[in-house]
């Protein structure tokens, strides 16, 4: 029975989760296109999956990959922390440089039990304050904490299947695709030109974009450009025309009309209201 749960989300997805259970208790889980770092603060459990079973005690952790699983929580007090690795979030974490573990060839691997040491203990302890004060954890800090854990795991076991767990969430082709999108998202390129740079036909580009971003290219790119423009309006003294150009819009008229449609206000009024706040 779940007694308490605290979750820190990233773009609507649970990224860090702390939970307490009344035991004994059994739980079924399903993960798609993701992995999970599962750390036991107190108590013990067994995790069952198609590729193996792992027994865990206090200050031990489990790295689990996609798929269905069943967890049995043994009798006694139980508390743990789950940290989720989503494919798209990891791409965002490493968007400026490809992680070294991409060179690994993905293979089916068994769940990986990790005996926590001082580095992992200190990392977990650094997270606890954010469960009590979730307003302190913004998106940028969330990405930094996730990257910190990835680097700790890779440093602790450089030859282990941790590499394989993480590399399964990456596809070099997908990474190249998302990198190209992010690097050109505020350029004046048309969708057709962007598809050409990605070495795809327009139809295959649209299909791949929908698969990766769960949105159409035009809508996603327009929203990203408008969000960036809104940020510039609040943090710079640049002219409206300059902000429009820097955000990827080719003329101020189109920018102003599109901005008003999204934010229900003109760029200049939006800036004044944000300054007053």
Q: Are residues 25 and 147 in the same domain?
A: yes
Domain that holds residue 89: 2-168
Whichever domain contains 149, its CATH number is 2.60.120.10
DSSP string, 189-235: --HHHHHHHTT--HHHHHHHHHHHHSS-HHHHHHHHHHHHHHHHHHH
Query: Is 177 part of a structural domain of the chain?
Result: no
Q: Is the residue at 147 inside a domain?
A: yes
Do residues 231 and 163 both lie within one domain? no
pLDDT of the residue at 18: 95
Is the preceding omega at residue 24 within 30 degrees of 0, hence cis?
yes
How far apart CA 37 and CA 126 sit, in angstroms, is: 16
Summarised one tens digit per residue, pLDDT across range 66-119 is 556 778 888 888 999 999 988 778 878 887 665 666 555 444 445 557 766 788
Q: What gap in Å lies between CA 27 and CA 47, rounded to an integer?
A: 10
Domain shared by 44 and 84, yes or no = yes
Q: Please report whether residue 209 resides in a domain.
A: yes
Spans in the chain with pLDDT lower than 50? 105-109, 159
Model confidence over 227-242: pLDDT tens digits? Answer: 999 999 999 999 999 9
230 with 266, same domain?
yes
CATH of the domain at 204: 1.10.10.60
Confidence at residue 156, expressed as pLDDT on a 0 to 100 scale: 74
Neighbours of 260 (CB within 10 A): 14
| Residues near 89 by beta carbon (within 8 Å), at least 6 away in sequence | 10, 11, 13, 15, 143, 146
Half-sphere exposure of 250 (CA within 13 A, CB side): 3
Number of domains comprising the chain: 2
Annotate 131-170 with DSSP letters as a single string: HH-GGG--HHHHHHHHHHHHHHHHHH-TTSTHHHHHHHT-
Q: pLDDT at position 106, please?
A: 46
Last residue of a domain, one of 168, 201, 216: 168
Has residue 218 been placed in a domain?
Answer: yes
Rounded CA separation 166/99 (Å): 10
DSSP-based three-state secondary structure for 177: helix
Query: What pLDDT score does 108 carry?
Result: 44
Contact in structure between 113 and 54 (CB atoms under 8 Å): yes
Report the pLDDT value the prediction gives residue 34, as an integer from 0 to 100.
Answer: 77
Distance of CA 89 to the CA centre of its chain: 2
Among 139, 168, 197, give the residue marking a domain's end.
168
Is 179 inside any structural domain? no
């Amino acid at each position: 029975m779940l007694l308490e749960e605290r979750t820190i989300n990233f773009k609507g997805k649970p990224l860090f989760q702390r939970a307490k259970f009344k035991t004994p208790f059994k739980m079924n889980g399903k993960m798609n296109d993701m992995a999970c770092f599962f750390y036991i603060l107190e108590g013990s459990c067994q995790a069952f999956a198609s590729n193996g079973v792992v027994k865990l005690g206090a200050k031990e952790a489990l790295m689990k990959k996609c798929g269905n699983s069943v967890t049995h929580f043994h009798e006694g007090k139980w508390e743990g922390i789950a940290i989720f690795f989503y494919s798209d979030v990891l791409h965002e974490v490493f968007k400026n440089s490809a992680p070294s573990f991409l060179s690994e060839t993905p293979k089916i691997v068994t769940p990986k039990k990790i005996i926590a040491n001082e580095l992992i203990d200190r990392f977990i302890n650094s997270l606890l304050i954010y469960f009590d004060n979730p307003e302190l954890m913004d998106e940028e800090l969330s990405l930094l904490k996730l990257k910190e854990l990835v680097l700790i795991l890779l440093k602790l076991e450089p030859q282990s299947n941790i590499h394989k767990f993480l590399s399964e969430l990456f596809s070099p082709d997908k990474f190249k695709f998302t990198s190209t999108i992010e690097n050109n998202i505020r350029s004046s390129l048309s969708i057709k030109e962007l598809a050409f740079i990605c070495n795809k036909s327009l139809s295959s580009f649209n299909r791949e974009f929908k698969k990766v971003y769960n949105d159409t290219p035009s809508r996603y790119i327009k929203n990203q450009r408008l969000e960036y423009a809104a940020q510039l309006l609040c943090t710079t003294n640049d002219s409206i025309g300059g902000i429009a150009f820097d955000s990827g819009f080719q003329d101020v008229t189109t920018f102003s009309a599109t901005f008003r449609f999204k934010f229900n206000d003109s760029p200049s009024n939006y800036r004044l209201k944000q300054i007053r706040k």
